[in-house]
Structure 1
Amino acid sequence: MATLISLALTIFVYLITFESFMYFICSVRHYTNSSYKKYEGDDFVSIIVPCYNEELTLINCIKSMVTQTYNKYEIIIVDDGSTDGTLDVAKSLLHYKNVVVLTKPNAGKASALNFGIKHCRGNIVVCVDADSIFLSDTLLKLLEPFSDSKVAAVSGNVKVANRENVLGKNQALEYILGLNLYRRMFTVLNCVPVIPGAIGAFRKDVVLEVGGYSLDTLVEDMDLTMAISKLGYKIEFVGEAIAYTEAPESYKDFCKQRYRWTYGTFEVINKYKSILFNYKSGKELGVVGLPYIIFSTFINILITLAILYLVINLIFYGNSSNLMPLFFTMFVLQNILILYTIHIDREDLKLLFYWPFQVVIYRQIIYFITIKALINYMRGKKTSWNKLDRLGKNMLKST
């Protein structure tokens, strides 16, 4: 029995090592071949900001939007029936000539985005969260891939603004390594599965073609991306199109957010299971993207259980099953990967010091949340959107 467990663990470690290798190869290719032509189009852009109880973050968000170097755009703030002072804050921003404020009864983020798209004038829509803040050239950089008529959607580069505590620094590190590097790889493989809610651009006609944002799942951004990719449209990731976001500062809010993301992912997997390994529908998405999401979800759960097994074995029996060298090799390779990622993202090298915490504690929390979400999803236990409390820390000076 112990031999079979050791063999299985060895296979898992090799799979994770191969995954890291693929991350590296694809990110190098994306970084060295993703210089897009300077955007010379004259598309009118509609930036849509859905809001529900965002009075603390909305001002910082809009102030960053009105300073964009690309000047053919409108900003549509959609108040989704907020119960705080969000609507008043939104109206106070109407002195900016390109700001429009809409309000509607509360029906969720997807509904608010669809409402904004319905009333927008742009042929390109940029959907952002109300805690997102842009650099002055973010919009221009986000538009560059649209010089290619085959591109239907573009993901920007999301970074964490509030990094004062250990949780914030680990989320910043995770966004750099686990989310943005992930998108670089899938851009190269032509199967980007998620354009983040914090910063994403779409051709309006394509969004309307797929029926807009769906209310079927808890991850409307992933759901829309999958719908677009399923039809064979090209999706890009631009590392220079940067948006900073306010990440959860308490472990309670962090767990709520990750639970929703994970539970929603299972909903999307089930919704689009028909394209799994189906090259004719969704092409690379069905053959590579969706299978990888399933693979990475379950392999990470197994690795967590494997590490737990090794620790128990080492403590009680003084036996590591000769797997420690393999785990050590895997961690070394991943450290090389994160060094490279920090370099290409022009990030703070000091974040590397939080890598041990990330491996030993942070990731294990995420994986146990994944296990909980999977069990509850299989049991049919429903969950809600779990709106997080905002602190108004979406400020660049915090980075």
Structure 2
Amino acid sequence: MASQQGLQISVIVPARNEEACLGTCLESMVAQDGVQFEVIVVDDGSSDRTAEIARSFSGVQLIQAGELSAEWTGKNNAMAAGARVATGKWLLFTDADTFHKPGSLARAVSEAEERGAALLSYSPEQEVHGFWQKAVMPVIFAELAGVYPPAKVSDPASPIAAANGQYLMISREAYDAVGGHTRIAGDLLEDVGLARLVKSSGRKIFFRCGGDAVRTRMYRSFAQMKEGWTKNLALLFARPRQLALRRAAEFAVIVVSGTTGITMLLARRFDAGSVILAAGVAACLWIWIRIRRANFSRLTSLFAIMGLPIFAYLLQRSSTVHHEGRVLWKGRSYGERLEHEPQVKPVRF
């Protein structure tokens, strides 16, 4: 932590009903060293013990997000409230379900300054538990890696801009210059929106996988995962319905070729059965290679092939919900359809 003199970074944690994870996040944050920092928790109308947990940490500043107007999403309103009271040269917006590894805060500041970045964002290591998360999360993050390649995001010559809101650090100068969260008040995909503002202003972004710095467990149930990705998925891909159809078709090819090949082998039709089964295995291998780029383990990536139809369902559901203007998130309804178009087409396989 730090006195106000020489403060380098303000850590802003928006929190709405986060009693299950906020304590772990703050424990990892207050233990940071090597940099002068402050921690601000913004209570976004919580009805659980979120505020009580924040108060229990010495040196952590707790504020209220304040009134939420129709033009704002709850998270953007909370982060803007935190930014207004922050005094650091850098602002780190990080989610309450994150865990920050020792020394990571100081290393992030150094990395941003060494690279001349106005915005630095890490994609955290994703903790996945249970069938649904292990099946779906690697598929989704592999798709995102194809649409928003970190090397392209970090390339000033590329128009592609992105960030991960679980760990988004921006200089105070850049935040104020581009208008901060006020410019993206109604965006559900606020991290990408802020990154686009920064990059279009001519400032540099640095984006990479940040498992060495931070990890997160995004969801604790299938219901949470369904609501969260329903909110986001259709905004992340240019043609979500077509992508959903392609991924469902891929899974169908695997199932049909596998069952047909095995059936033919059992019927002693070895030549045809071997060819068909080999085609199914080749399809599995190709999809596994694609999923591996999301930095999950080999075994988890193989298991995630089972998640293709679930991903297709969530993507289709997200598209429908956004078209009908009935997005729900953390007990709030965002009735107006909010749109975001990626700057690149999805990678085709």
Q: Which runs of 5+ in 2 are unaligned?
A: 1-5, 69-73, 265-271, 333-349
- Cα gap change, 1:263/1:325 in structure 2, threshold over 3 Å: closer, same or farther? same
1:160 aligned to 126, 145, 159, which one? 126
1:199 alignment counterpart: 167
Q: How many residues align?
A: 306
Alignment of 1:23-38 (within 5 A): none
2:66 alignment counterpart: 105
1:262 alignment counterpart: 233
1:209 alignment counterpart: 177
Query: 1:359-384, CA deviations, whole angstroms, 9 ceiling, x for partnerless residues?
Result: 13x13212222122223433x43312
Aligned partners of 1:151 and 1:233 also within 8 Å: yes
**Pair 1:78 & 2:42 matched:** yes
Secondary structure at the counterpart of residue 233 of structure 1: coil
**Pair 1:305 & 2:249 matched:** yes
* Counterpart amino acid of residue 102 in structure 1: I
2:52 alignment counterpart: 88
2:224 aligned to 230, 253, 267, which one? 253
Aligned partners of 1:52 and 1:86 also within 8 Å: yes
* Counterpart amino acid of residue 369 in structure 1: L
State how far apart, in whole Å, the 1-side matches of 2:317 and 2:135 are. Answer: 21
Q: Which runs of 5+ in 1 are unaligned?
A: 1-41, 266-292, 389-399
**CA-atom RMSD, angstroms?**
3.5
2:202 alignment counterpart: 232
2:23 alignment counterpart: 59
Secondary structure at the counterpart of residue 238 of structure 2: helix
2:87 alignment counterpart: 121
State how far apart, in whole Å, the 1-side matches of 2:329 and 2:283 are. Answer: 36
Aligned partners of 1:117 and 1:125 also within 8 Å: yes
Alignment of 1:251-330 (within 5 A): 251-265=222-236, 293-294=237-238, 298-305=242-249, 307-308=251-252, 328-330=281-283
2:105 aligned to 127, 139, 148, which one? 139
- Cα gap change, 1:294/1:86 in structure 2, threshold over 3 Å: closer, same or farther? same
Aligned partners of 2:229 and 2:314 also within 8 Å: yes
Query: 1:228-275, CA deviations, whole angstroms, 9 ceiling, x for partnerless residues?
Result: 22333221124455222123232222111110112444xxxxxxxxxx
Alignment of 1:297-376 (within 5 A): 298-305=242-249, 307-308=251-252, 328-336=281-289, 342=295, 351-360=297-306, 362-376=307-321
- Percent identity of the aligned residues? 19
2:150 alignment counterpart: 184
2:328 aligned to 351, 362, 384, which one? 384
- Cα gap change, 1:55/1:310 in structure 2, threshold over 3 Å: closer, same or farther? closer
State how far apart, in whole Å, the 2-side matches of 1:198 and 1:366 are. Answer: 21
* Counterpart amino acid of residue 66 in structure 2: P
State how far apart, in whole Å, the 2-side matches of 1:144 and 1:309 are. Answer: 48
- Cα gap change, 1:305/1:45 in structure 2, threshold over 3 Å: closer, same or farther? same
Secondary structure at the counterpart of residue 50 of structure 1: strand
CA shift, 1:171, in A, is: 5.6
CA shift, 1:143, in A, is: 1.9
Aligned partners of 1:51 and 1:86 also within 8 Å: yes
CA shift, 1:148, in A, is: 4.6
Aligned partners of 1:73 and 1:122 also within 8 Å: yes
Aligned partners of 1:218 and 1:385 also within 8 Å: no
Q: Give me the TM-score of the superposition, normalised by structure 2.
A: 0.74
CA shift, 1:174, in A, is: 4.8
Higher RCO (CA 8 Å, separation ≥ 6 residues): 1
Give the structure with the higher percent helix.
1
Secondary structure at the counterpart of residue 151 of structure 1: coil
- Cα gap change, 1:46/1:192 in structure 2, threshold over 3 Å: closer, same or farther? farther
Aligned partners of 1:48 and 1:116 also within 8 Å: yes
Secondary structure at the counterpart of residue 384 of structure 1: strand
State how far apart, in whole Å, the 2-side matches of 1:339 and 1:312 are. Answer: 23
Aligned partners of 2:7 and 2:38 also within 8 Å: no
* Counterpart amino acid of residue 100 in structure 2: F
- Cα gap change, 1:57/1:315 in structure 2, threshold over 3 Å: closer, same or farther? closer
